[in-house]
Amino acid sequence: MPPDRPDSARPSPPDAGRIPQHIAIIMDGNGRWAKQRGLPRIEGHRRGVETVRTITFAARDLGVRMLTLYAFSAENWRRPQDEVGALMMLLEFYLKRELANFIANRVRLRTIGRTEELPPGVRTVLAHAVEQTKHFSDYTLVLALNYGSRSEVMDAARAYAAAIAAGREKLNDDSWSTFSRYLYSADLPDPDLVIRTSGETRLSNFLLLQAAYSELIFTPVLWPDFSKTDLAAAVDEYGRRERRYGRTSEQLSPAASK
């Protein structure tokens, strides 16, 4: 393992249960973390970036294949402009700093969202990082940037309608598999587990369609304090749950009903 790999101590794998192959996280609580310590909000975001670094590799060490992080929502533009500007600068800094680690550790970077609306400098650095890591396949980090599930549905519906008008799709094809090809996440698996930090218990316009059958875990831990141990505990909890997809327990395990 390259010597500059952050936080290289491996978390202990869960004692039992299945490992979610795709985890999505709503990273919440940076501002509250800073406020509790009498610090500016941006300090909370800076600390949150370090947690991103830790959890990215902790998830892979647990056997997760894909991690999606809600990094900047379509609604976050409503925040004070100085905070938005600082967040964009932090994003650019993070991408520049981490690219070497991504390459050394074979991490593929992907994005979902209206990234074309991000500042030019961020778009340039982001495109470069995506291009440089696109050939890796073992582990994928997805950043949801300028992302909103409702915007995604509108963009998908518009593209789907255009495909029907052009004769590439059939009007009477009402299958989910067909429509889902027009989502930002078209070639990505749905998340098995969605985690939200900070104690809030809502999805906040995040992967509303993709998370239809995801397991949900809400933790009171603020994102800057979210650790490898917290992640392992969430994965362990996931492993104890039964995912039925509309079926009964007996259908999933006929032997148990005998």
Catalytic residue numbers read 28, 76
65 annotated ligand binder: no
196 annotated ligand binder: yes
Q: What is the DSSP letter of 136?
A: -
- Which amino acid, 226? F
18 annotated ligand binder: no
Neighbours of 167 (CB within 10 A): 7
Compute φ and ψ for 244, nearest 5 degrees: -105, -20
Q: What gap in Å lies between CA 228 and CA 105, rounded to an integer?
A: 18
176 annotated ligand binder: no
Closest CA to 110 of 210, 9, 24: 24
Q: Would you say 107 and 133 are in contact if contact means Cβ atoms under 8 Å apart?
A: yes
R_g of the chain computed on alpha carbons? 19
Q: Would you say 216 and 191 are in contact if contact means Cβ atoms under 8 Å apart?
A: no
How long, in residues, is the chain?
Answer: 258
Q: Would you say 203 and 212 are in contact if contact means Cβ atoms under 8 Å apart?
A: no
74 annotated ligand binder: yes
- Residue identified by tokens 């369609």 is 209
Q: Would you say 210 and 185 are in contact if contact means Cβ atoms under 8 Å apart?
A: yes
77 annotated ligand binder: yes
28 annotated ligand binder: yes
223 annotated ligand binder: no
204 annotated ligand binder: yes
Which segments are annotated as binding site for Mg(2+)?
28, 215
Which segments are annotated as binding site for substrate?
29-33, 41, 45, 73-75, 77, 79, 196, 202-204
Which segments are annotated as binding site?
28-33, 41, 45, 73-75, 77, 79, 196, 202-204, 215
